[in-house]
């Protein structure tokens, strides 16, 4: 049995200058690489994972999920990572997309997933669950946190796009605060997880567009990225 640790950062406490101020963890948004590296070191220290203790991803809105066993690496062209290695942090960076952190504490399997519109509709979350199960997890033992993301009230899309995503990810289509077609990806992902036998689902209520303490690409582009990190600790 393991203890699951999950952390999501905010904008505050880093080294990046505007428009990435200040705790930007994304290395692909045009920020000073030295500032991003310093911010990532600060996160590694604050979490106790230390240098080389976190796995990052070069996210591409794909449905690719990789099984990893060591830190200090950035996995290329991947939007989900899974591990059975204790004290190894898995990180996903977002600024409106959904960070999905999943754990089977009983069997010691965790995952971090970047679920934007394309990846979520393409099945990235279900794919990550399958990789977890293949690594020894059981669906009924998996708990999930859907982190801060753009809410349905602020995610306006064309009606045709809303319909397309709804067909692929039922439960996603919604109406925005303006009365226009919109998407609530967290609602769609939660519905999908329940069809997979996962019922322990928590949703962070924060909307990245509404909350100035969070990065939002829709609100502020160009801007930085939040990091959501998950890892396992042996139960005491």
| Token digits of residue 137 | 């997890």
Whether pLDDT at 236 is above 70: no
**How do the residues of the chain divide into helix, strand and coil, expressed in percent and rounded to 5?**
25, 30, 45
| Domain residue extents for the chain | 2-234
Q: Please compute the mean of the pLDDT values over residues 58-68 and round it to a whole number.
A: 97
Q: H/E element holding 127?
A: helix 124-134
* C-alpha distance across the termini of the chain, in Å: 9
pLDDT tens string 115-137: 999 999 999 999 999 999 999 99
Fold (topology level) of 2-234: 3.60.140
Whether pLDDT at 234 is above 90: no
CB 116 within 8 A of CB 98: yes
Residue 201: Cβ within 10 Å count: 18
Q: Please compute the mean of the pLDDT values over residues 189-205 and round it to a whole number.
A: 98
Residue 62: Cβ within 10 Å count: 18
Per-residue confidence (pLDDT) for residue 235, from 0 to 100: 79
CB 53 within 8 A of CB 44: yes
pLDDT above 90 as % of the chain: 98
pTM of the model: 0.97
């Amino acid at each position: 049995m393991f203890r699951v640790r999950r952390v999501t950062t905010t904008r505050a406490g880093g080294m990046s200058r505007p428009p990435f101020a200040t705790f930007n963890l994304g290395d692909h948004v045009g920020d000073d690489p030295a500032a991003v590296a310093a911010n990532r070191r600060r996160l590694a220290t604050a979490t106790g994972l230390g240098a080389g203790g976190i796995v990052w991803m070069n996210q591409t809105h794909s449905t690719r999920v990789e099984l990893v066993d060591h830190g200090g690496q950035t996995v290329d062209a991947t939007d989900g990572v899974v591990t059975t290695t204790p004290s190894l942090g898995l990180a996903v960076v977002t600024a409106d997309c959904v960070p999905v952190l999943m754990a089977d504490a009983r069997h010691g399997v965790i995952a971090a997933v970047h679920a934007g519109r394309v990846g979520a509709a393409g099945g990235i979350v279900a794919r990550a669950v399958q990789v977890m199960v293949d690594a020894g997890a059981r669906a009924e033992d998996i708990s999930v946190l859907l982190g801060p993301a753009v809410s349905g009230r602020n995610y306006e899309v064309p009606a045709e796009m809303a319909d397309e995503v709804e067909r692929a990810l039922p439960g996603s289509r919604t109406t925005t605060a303006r009365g226009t077609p919109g998407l609530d990806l967290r609602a769609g992902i939660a519905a999908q997880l329940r069809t997979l036998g996962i019922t322990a689902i928590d949703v962070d209520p924060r909307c990245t567009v509404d909350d100035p303490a969070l990065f939002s690409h829709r609100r502020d582009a160009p801007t930085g990225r939040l990091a959501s990190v998950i890892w396992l600790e042996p139960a005491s």
